[in-house]
Structures are given as structure tokens and as C-alpha cells.
Structure 1
């Protein structure tokens, strides 16, 4: 369609402002992601 739309779901957040990722398996900081904890299932 030709309708102008702003979709904040695709907004870009600077990496320095990201302190954690919220996934269906929990909330993970960068250290937990580096250790692969997000791959181990529910906490």
C-alpha cells in the first residue's frame, strides 16, 4: 500500500542503551547471553 506508516517495532536502539534482552525464556544481560544461558530453556 502507499500509506505512510511509522512502526516502532523496527526502530533502531543504540547498542549502548541495551542492558538486557527479554525473551520467552527469561531476561538476560549481555554476560548471560555470552554464556549461552538463553539457549538452556526456562529459568
Structure 2
């Protein structure tokens, strides 16, 4: 297993992402994977 440490620019950025994570019922890993999926959908090959 690989561990990753995420550093946020400020408390506001952290709180915004934490609320999104909570609202969607995700873990931090789940939020990251959802973000990856969205980037892949929005980025042409």
C-alpha cells in the first residue's frame, strides 16, 4: 500500500474539499478517484 500526504494551500481550501467529501459520502481516496474520473472525461486524448 502506498501512503500519500496532501498539503492544502490554506484552511479554506481544506474545509471546502472536506465538505464536498462529506456531502458525497466519500473517503479522501474516493474524492481523489472521482476527481481523476472527471479530468479524464474532460481531457481529450
Normalised to the residue count of structure 1, the TM-score between the two structures is 0.23
More helix by share: 2
Of the two, which has the highest radius of gyration?
1
Larger RCO: Structure 1 or Structure 2 (Cα < 8 Å, ≥ 6 residues apart)?
1
Normalised to the residue count of structure 2, the TM-score between the two structures is 0.23
